[in-house]
Structure 1
Amino acid sequence: MEIFQIIFLALIQGVTEFLPISSSAHLILPSQVLGWPDQGLAFDVAVHFGSLAAVLIYFRKDVWSLICDGLGGFRNGQFSDDGRLAWLIVLATIPAGLAGLIFKDFIELHLRSAAVIATTTILFGILLWWVDVRGKRSEELSALNWKKALLIGCAQALALIPGTSRSGITMTAGLMLGMKREAAARFSFLMSIPVIALSALLLTMELFDTESVPWGDILMGAVLSGISAYLCIHFFLQFISRIGMAPFAIYRLLLGAALIWMIWST
């Protein structure tokens, strides 16, 4: 790939991985509008590891506490709030893992189209806006229980459908269950860690079957994706309580409309 293409796609992927605006919708537009070739498997691996590094570094203290308290609860016979949260994240990961194993081939064959992405971008954007306005937004992360975590996990499984947005649908589910905006966003980011890690691992295994790997592209893509993802997480958590989800929902509607126009004009 050209240097500009690597920079542009890595930055876009890093930002959209954690904003509720759908990364798949943004990656289809450059190829359709600018005629860029597919970025390839190696680049997908790079940006996944970049996003994973960003969320691990940003939440490094939380992650360490979750691991220690989650495992330490078995030794002590009692789980702290962080220990309980760790296992809720594990529980919330199961639906997406199972859905990925069962429906991966079907989704890649039948749902990776501009029409599907446009539809899901608009529909889930409207749902995000509606829930943000109508939700109670009163519960902290400490109030999360296993039933709510499992429901959010089932919502995360829907993100396998292109255009849904993993962060968008999990935040929507959190808000629907009465969580505060920042609490819903924090849980969404934390539960992204095992999902992104598993996805990166699977892509890496597929990459071993390729004959040549552009290591320069991989390194640049990983670094740029990681930097943009880190900044995205930081500023999103700083401002989400004040700005709400409306700007992202409106953006999704405009993006979906652009995709529909693109489909009809070709």
Structure 2
Amino acid sequence: MRGGRTYVLAAALLGAAALLTIAGVGDRSGFPDWQAFVLGVVQGATELLPVSSSGHLVLVPWLGDWTYLEQHDDFNHTFDVALHLGTMLAVGGYFWHDLVAMVRAFVRTLRTRRLETPDERLAWIVLVATIPAGIIGLALEDTITAHLGEPWQIAILLAVFAGLLWLVDRRPATREAHELSLKEGLAVGFAQALALAPGVSRSGITISAGRLFRLDRDAAARLSFLLLVPTVLGAVLLKGLQDVVLGDLPAGWKGPFLVGVLSAWGTGLLAIEWLLGYVRQHTYGLFVVYRLVAAAIIVLLIVTGARAATF
């Protein structure tokens, strides 16, 4: 699914989300559908661009003084599943043929016990790169939730990893993603684990790691997108089981859940299409500047007392 079909589907998804929002389907006191729509759009764009979705999902409510999700953990967990499901559907649909080819290649390697084709190598690179984030995320989830994610911390991480992206993006591009070794793939996975801290950016740090290993800009972005599917799928399944299937769903979850999924899905498709077209002709410098400006604005708001340093 590329080009024109992507725009048509994205428009349909965003249109459906907007109609549900206007109709107030499942609207809930304290967390109306329009906030769910905004956060879905934010998730769809920032999960796939190297600017930190988890950071923006803190910063937007912080700026708007939306406190409902922060004060209602059960609802927040359910809604978080919806947003990540939306971006996973966007990546899964856009790269469907690539993903099917990789799964077939992976199964083939189990039979032949060799890595011969680009798809076979890429399948194993994605597999080993997924492992660190999964293990570290399970082990440190409570610690990360308790100690990271404040606006002042997000500002620091946005700036620091903007600098890293700028440095590695200056390296020459000599390789495709399937040319990485499994050790390099594992290193990309450990880099991805850093994105558990809001402000780092999962796509940003994996793109940075890819550029460090001399992937061209398009290949680094594609590898980052492909890594999202197993990483987010695992998180969605785990959180979905814990918070949706086995948990007690909060009243009024269906409307915001559906609006969040649709808006994140539609915006995610647009973000993928735009980023891949953009980096074929430009550097990642635009995102470096954006991160630095965002960090400066956060600091300015805190220093002037317009917003508190914590949320």
Quickly name the TM-score band, shorter chain normalised.
Answer: over 0.9
| Structure 2 SS opposite 1:159 | helix
CA gap of 1:71–1:258, structure 2 versus 1, over 3 A, is: same
Shift of 1:197: 0.6
**Structure-2 residue corresponding to 1:238:** 277
- 1:55-204 pair list within 5 angstroms: 55-79=91-115, 80-133=117-170, 135-204=171-240
- Matches of 1:112 and 1:34, distance apart in 2: 17
In 2, the alpha carbon distance for the partners of 1:76 and 1:140 equals 24
What is the CA-CA distance between 1:38 and the residue it aligns to?
A: 4.0
Q: CA shift at 1:215, angstroms?
A: 0.9
- Report the Cα offset of residue 202 of structure 1: 2.2
1:224 has 2:263 as partner = yes
Contact preservation (8 Å) 2:36, 2:259: yes
**Contact 1:14–1:227 (CA under 8 A) maintained in structure 2:** yes
Contact 2:121-2:178 at 8 Å conserved across structures: no
Taking only the aligned residue pairs, the percentage that are identical comes to: 36
- Letter of the structure 1 residue corresponding to residue 47 of structure 2: E
Q: Name stretches of at least 5 consecutive residues in structure 1 with no aligned partner.
A: none
Spell out, residue by residue over 1:188-242, the C-alpha distance to the aligned partner (whole angstroms, 9 max, x if none).
Answer: 1101111111111222123232342511211111011001001111111111121
Mapped to 2, the partners of 1:178 and 1:36 lie a distance apart of 42
The 8 Å contact of residues 155 and 169 in structure 1, kept in 2 or not, is answered as: yes
Structure 1 residues 130, 77: CA separation in 2 closer, same or farther (over 3 Å shift)? closer
Corresponding residue number in structure 2 for 1:249: 288
Q: Is the 8 A contact 1:137 1:179 kept in 2?
A: yes
**Alignment size in residue pairs:** 265
Contact kept, 8 Å, 2:44 with 2:264, in 1: the verdict is yes
Q: How far is the alpha carbon of 1:76 from its aligned partner?
A: 3.6
TM-score (norm 1): 0.95
* CA deviation vs aligned residue, 1:41-81 (integer Å, no higher than 9, x gap): 22211111111111110000000000011101222444322
Distance change in 2, residues 1:180/1:155 (3 Å): same
CA distance in 2, matches of 1:211, 1:96: 27
Shift of 1:93: 0.7
The alignment yields a C-alpha RMSD, in angstroms, of 1.4
Give how far 1:147 is off: 1.6
Partner Cα separation in structure 2 for residue 211 and residue 222 of structure 1: 17
Using the alignment, how far apart are the partners of 1:25 and 1:101 within structure 2? Answer: 20
- 2:254 aligned residue: 215
Query: Contact 1:132–1:245 (CA<8 Å) still a contact in 2?
Result: yes
Q: Which residue of 2 aligns with 1:14?
A: 44
What secondary structure sits across from 2:134 in the alignment?
A: helix
Structure 2 equivalent of residue 262 of structure 1 = 301
Bigger Rg, structure 1 or 2:
2
Alignment check: 8 A CA contact 1:24 1:117 kept: no
TM-score, length of structure 2 as denominator length: 0.82
